[in-house]
Amino acid sequence: MKNLIIIFIFFISYSASANVKQEIDSILQLAKSIVASNPERTKMLANEAMELSLDNNYVEGQVGSYTVKGVYFYGKGNYDKAITNLLESTKIAEGLGKKEMISKTYNNVSIIYNEMGNYESALQYLNMSLKIKKELGISLWSIYFNQSMVYESLGNLNKALVLATKADSMSSKENKAKSLNRVGALYKNLKKYKQALKYYEKAIVLYNREKELSDFGYTMKNIGFIKGKLGKAGEGIINLNIALDIADSLGHKNLLSATYGALSDNYKIIGNYKKALEFQTLGIALDDSIYSEKNLTVIEEMRTKYETDKKDGEIELQKSQKLIAYGGIGVAILLIAFVLKGFLDKKKSNTKLFQKNIVIREKNKEILDSINYTKRIQEAILPSPSVIKQVIPSSFILYKPKDVISGDFYWTEQVGDLSLFAAADCTGHGVPGAMVSVVCHGALNRAVREFGLTDPGKILDKVREIVIETFQKDGDNVQDGMDIALCALNRKTGELQYAGANNPLYVVKKDSGDLQETKASKQPIGNYDNAKDFVTHNLNVSKGDMIYVSSDGYADQFGGLKEKKFMYGKFKKLLTSLSKATLEEQKDKLFSDFEAWKGDIEQVDDVCVIGVKI
Same domain assignment for residues 376 and 496? no
pLDDT on residue 373:
61
Q: Residue 98 domain-assigned?
A: yes
Same domain assignment for residues 595 and 471? yes
Contact call for residues 602 and 553 (beta carbons, < 8 A): no
Same domain assignment for residues 301 and 397? no
Same domain assignment for residues 454 and 579? yes
The residue among 115, 138, 161 that closes a domain is 138
In the chain, how many H helices and how many E strands? Answer: 21, 12
Same domain assignment for residues 517 and 559? yes
The residue among 364, 381, 398 that closes a domain is 381
Same domain assignment for residues 375 and 412? no
Q: Among 28-32, 134-138, 436-440, which is the least confidently predicted range?
A: 436-440
Axis crossing angle, helix 213-229 with helix 253-269, rounded to the nearest 10: 20
pLDDT on residue 363:
56
Residue 401's nearest CA partner among 432, 422, 370 is 432
Angle at 219 between CA 213 and CA 221, to 5 degrees: 105
The CATH number that applies at residue 442 is 3.60.40.10
Same domain assignment for residues 484 and 595? yes
Same domain assignment for residues 476 and 586? yes
Same domain assignment for residues 487 and 582? yes
Same domain assignment for residues 388 and 376? no
Any residues with CB less than 8 A from the CB of 26 and at least 6 apart, and which? none
The secondary element (H helix, E strand) that includes residue 389 is helix 385-391
The residue among 138, 164, 184 that closes a domain is 138
Q: By CB neighbour count within 10 A (0-12 exposed, 13-18 middle, 19+ buried), where does 152 fall?
A: buried
Phi, psi of 97 (to 5 degrees): 70, 25
Contact call for residues 576 and 512 (beta carbons, < 8 A): no
* For the chain, percent of residues with pLDDT exceeding 70: 79
The CATH number that applies at residue 128 is 1.25.40.10
Q: What is the mean pLDDT of residues 184-194?
A: 93
Per-residue pLDDT reduced to its tens digit, 278-308? 888 888 877 766 655 544 444 455 445 445 5
Helix, strand, coil shares, percent, the chain, to 5: 65, 10, 25
Q: Residue 484 domain-assigned?
A: yes
Q: Residue 163 domain-assigned?
A: no
Domain span at residue 313 reads 271-381
Number of domains forming the structure of the chain: 3
Residue 608's nearest CA partner among 374, 408, 413 is 408
pLDDT on residue 457:
95
Q: What is the mean pLDDT of residues 414-431?
A: 84
Q: How far apart are CA 170 and CA 166, in angstroms?
A: 7
Residue 586 above 80 pLDDT?
Answer: yes
pLDDT averaged over every residue in the chain:
82
Answer positive or negative: Cα dihedral of 437, 438, 440, 441.
Answer: positive
What is the pTM for the complete model shown?
A: 0.46
Residue 399 above 60 pLDDT?
Answer: yes
Same domain assignment for residues 304 and 450? no
Same domain assignment for residues 372 and 395? no
Per-residue pLDDT reduced to its tens digit, 226-284? 999 999 988 899 889 888 888 888 888 888 889 999 999 999 898 888 888 888 888 88
Q: Residue 277 domain-assigned?
A: yes
Residue 356 above 70 pLDDT?
Answer: no
Q: How confident is the model at residue 352 (pLDDT cuts 50, 70, 90)?
A: low
